[in-house]
Chains A and B, each alone.
Chain A
Amino acid sequence: MAHLTVAVSEGTFQKSVDALVRNLSFEKADQTSFGAFTAGYDVKAHLEGGTVDLRADNTIQLKELDLRWDRLKFILGIDIPEICVGGGCIDLPWPLPDLCLPRVCIFSDDPDISIEPDLAAFVAQEVSFTGSLLAQYHVSTTPGESNKWQIFIDPQTIDVDLFDFPDIVGNLIEDALTDLITALIPGGPVRDLIIAIIGGVSDLIRDILDIPDDIQEWLSDLFNVSFGLLDFIGTLILDYFASENPIYEFDDPFQIMEASNGLIPVRIPIRNLDVHVTDVEMVVQADVGA
C-alpha cells in the first residue's frame, strides 16, 4: 500500500474549471502595417462553459470551453494613392482668355479612411482538449539544484476553432469602406472622371487590400495568421497543458522542516510517484524513501 495517497474527484475538477472560467479574462491590442493599409485589433475576452470528463482510459477531457469576446475591435486604415484631376490650361488666341480647368485632388491624407467596427457579436471560439496525466522524475544537471518530481498533462488532442467571420461581417466592412471612399469623391463631372480612373470603389478596395476572393476570408486570415491572435490564444490555453510546462512539481528530497538557527532543513525522499485517473477521480500516490 502506498505511503501517501491523494485523490481528487471529477466534481472537484469541474468546480476548479468553473472557478477558472469565472476568473480568467484577457485583453490585447496590436496594429500592423501592410504597406497600403494598416490593420490592427483591440480585443477583450472571457471564458464560458467547459466541462471536465475524467475517463477510464487514463485521460482527462475538457470539452466546449468557449472563448467569448467582450470586445473584438477591428481597426483598418487605408492609404489610397492620391488622385488629381484638372489643373491644366488651354491657350486660346488673343483676346480670348486661356481656359484653365480647376485642379481637384483626393485621397491626400494618410490614411485616407479608417474604420473600427466591433465584431464581437459575430465571432466565438471553442476549445476542446484531451490529455493524460504523467509523472516524471527530472534529474537536475545544475549544481545546487534539487531533482524534481513533475506532473504533466500530456496533450493528445487539441481543438481550437479558427476565427471564422460570417458573410455579414464582410459585407459590413465592405459597405463601410465604400461609403467612406464615396464620400471623399466630389460630385459633378469630376466624380465621373475619378470613378473612371479608379475603376470603381469596390475594385479599388480589393486592389488595395489585396483581397483575393471574399472579404470575410481575408479578414479571417488576418486574425488567424497575420495578427497571430490564434497563436496567442494557443499560448494562453494550450501551452498551459504543453509537455514543457508541468502543472505541479516539487523538489526531491521534499522539504518538510525549514532550516532554522543554522540547522539544515529536514527533507524526505519521495519515491514511486504515480498519477492516474479513473472515470471518477484522479489519484496521486507516492512512497517515502528509506
Chain B
Amino acid sequence: MAFTDHSDIYGAVHEDGINRVVRHIMRQRPSLFNYATQIFAQRPDLFCEKIDVAAEVIQAQNPIFTVEKPLPVLGTPTPVGLNFCVQLTDFQIDFHPANTIQLPPELSPLAQQRLALRIRACVGMDCPSDSVIADILPRMEVLATAEDKPLFGTNMLATGGLVATRALAASDVRASRGLVRGDIFLPPTGGVLDPGRGTDDGIIVLPTRQINCFCLELFAVAHFEWGTIGSSPQQWLKTRLDGIEIVDLQPTPMEDMIECYLKLVLRLGVLPRLSIKLEKMVLDITKIIRDQGIAFGDEVTIEPAPVPAGVPHNPAIENDLVKVFANLIVRSA
C-alpha cells in the first residue's frame, strides 16, 4: 500500500521525532521552559532541577531562564517579594496507541485519533527563616502603624502613597543594615534587604538561602484539526485540548481550580502559537519554485485532502504517527 493512495502528498511525523525536537528546543531555548526571579542568575544551584542547556547557549551567553518579578507577600505595608522558580522539566508526546505515557485513570484509555501529553513541572519558592523575618519585622511594624499610611499595604491599594512608602522603606532598610547594592545575592547571615539590584520596581526581595521545591506531573489529551485563522483561506494545523489532569494534587477543588487555569493557559496561550501552516509543514512549494528562478503565472497551493471522501481522518493520529494528507491544487491564472 502506497503512502499516497488517497492524496497527492502525504506527511507523517513519529512521536519519537517530535520528542527529540522538543528536547532540542528545551536545550537551545531554556528560557521558554524555565521562569525564575533574578537571584537565580547568580545562584543557579537554587533551581529545583539543573537546567540542561546546549553549549551554543552558553557561548552566546543566552539566558537560561526568563526573569520574573518576585512573588508578592500580600498585605505588607511596602512591597515585599519572594524568590521563586517554575520549571517545565520534561515534555513527552505519545500518539495513539498509548505506549510510552501511562495516563492517569481520569484520562485513560487514550481514545483513537488522540494524543497524550505528559509535562513535568517543578515549582520552587523561598521560605525565609524566622531570623530574616525577625530582622525585617520592626521596620514593617513602623511602616504599618505610621499615621499617614493606609490600613493595608500600598501594594494592595491605590498607588497614591506608594512612592513615599517605597522611598521610606529603601532608605530605612539601607540605614538599618548599612549594606550596599549587591549584598542581596550573597548567602545572608541575617536579613539582607536592598531595594536596588535584586528588586523589581522597589519591591524588597527577602534573602534566599534555599528553595523549597515540589514537582507535579500534568497529563493532557489532545487532537489535531484543520482550520483557518482570521480571514485568510490558508489552512493551519491546530492542536485542540480535550482534557487535562494533575496527579496527586489535593484537595480536589484546588486541583480543579489549577487544572482550569492551566487549561486556559494551554488553550489561549500555548496551543495557538503551535499552529502550523500547511505549506510549511510539507514543503514550501512556492519557495522551491521561486528558488529555481521560475516565474509562475499559475497559483499553486496545497489543501488538506477532504474527509471522509478522500481519507477517513485528516490529520490522522495512529500507529504512533501524526499523518497529514494533502492535495496539490494548480489553478491556471
Interface residues of A (CB under 8 A from B): 1-9, 11-12, 15-16, 18-20, 22-24, 240, 248, 256-257, 262-264, 266-268, 278, 280-281, 283, 287-290
Cβ contacts under 8 Å, B257 to chain A? none
In contact, B298 and A22 (Cβ under 8 angstroms): yes
Interchain nearest-CB distance for B253 vs A (Å): 39
In contact, B328 and A15 (Cβ under 8 angstroms): yes
How far is B282's CA from A56's CA once the two chains are assembled, in angstroms?
24
Cβ contacts under 8 Å, A4 to chain B? 11-14, 17
Q: Does B16 contact A (CB under 8 A)?
A: yes
How far is B320's CA from A220's CA once the two chains are assembled, in angstroms?
61
In contact, B21 and A268 (Cβ under 8 angstroms): yes
Instruction: Choose one: B3, B29, B320; the contact of A257 (CB below 8 Å).
Output: B29
In contact, B10 and A290 (Cβ under 8 angstroms): no
Instruction: Choose one: A3, A22, A256; the contact of B14 (CB below 8 Å).
Output: A3
Cβ contacts under 8 Å, B16 to chain A? 3, 288
Interface residues of B (CB under 8 A from A): 2-4, 7-14, 16-17, 20-21, 24-25, 28-29, 31, 56-57, 60, 62-63, 282-283, 288, 292, 294-298, 300, 320-321, 328, 330, 332
In contact, A19 and B298 (Cβ under 8 angstroms): yes
Q: List 30 A-B contacts (CB under 8 A).
A: A1-B14, A1-B320, A1-B321, A3-B17, A3-B20, A4-B11, A5-B13, A6-B282, A7-B3, A9-B7, A9-B8, A12-B9, A16-B328, A19-B296, A257-B25, A257-B28, A257-B29, A263-B62, A263-B63, A264-B28, A264-B57, A264-B60, A264-B62, A268-B20, A268-B21, A281-B2, A281-B4, A283-B3, A288-B21, A288-B24
Closest to B56 in A: A264
In contact, A290 and B20 (Cβ under 8 angstroms): yes
How far is B92's CA from A60's CA once the two chains are assembled, in angstroms?
40
Query: Do most interface residues of chain A lie in helix, strand or loop, or is the interface mixed?
Result: mixed
Cβ contacts under 8 Å, A266 to chain B? 24-25, 28-29
Instruction: Choose one: A23, A264, A288; the contact of B297 (CB below 8 Å).
Output: A23
Interchain nearest-CB distance for A274 vs B (Å): 14
Given contacts A1-B320, A288-B21, contact A8 B8 (CB under 8 A): yes
How far is B17's CA from A290's CA once the two chains are assembled, in angstroms?
9
Cβ contacts under 8 Å, B294 to chain A? 20, 23-24
Cβ contacts under 8 Å, B25 to chain A? 256-257, 266
Cβ contacts under 8 Å, B292 to chain A? 240
How far is B10's CA from A278's CA once the two chains are assembled, in angstroms?
15
How far is B297's CA from A24's CA once the two chains are assembled, in angstroms?
9
Instruction: Choose one: B11, B60, B297, B321; the contact of A22 (CB below 8 Å).
Output: B297
How far is B332's CA from A15's CA once the two chains are assembled, in angstroms?
12
How far is B289's CA from A22's CA once the two chains are assembled, in angstroms?
14
Closest to B302 in A: A12
Cβ contacts under 8 Å, B298 to chain A? 19, 22-23
In contact, A8 and B9 (Cβ under 8 angstroms): yes
Which of B8, B292, B295, B330 has most A Cβ within 10 Å? B8
In contact, B3 and A3 (Cβ under 8 angstroms): no
In contact, B296 and A23 (Cβ under 8 angstroms): yes
In contact, B297 and A6 (Cβ under 8 angstroms): no
Instruction: Choose one: B7, B11, B62, B300; the contact of A5 (CB below 8 Å).
Output: B11
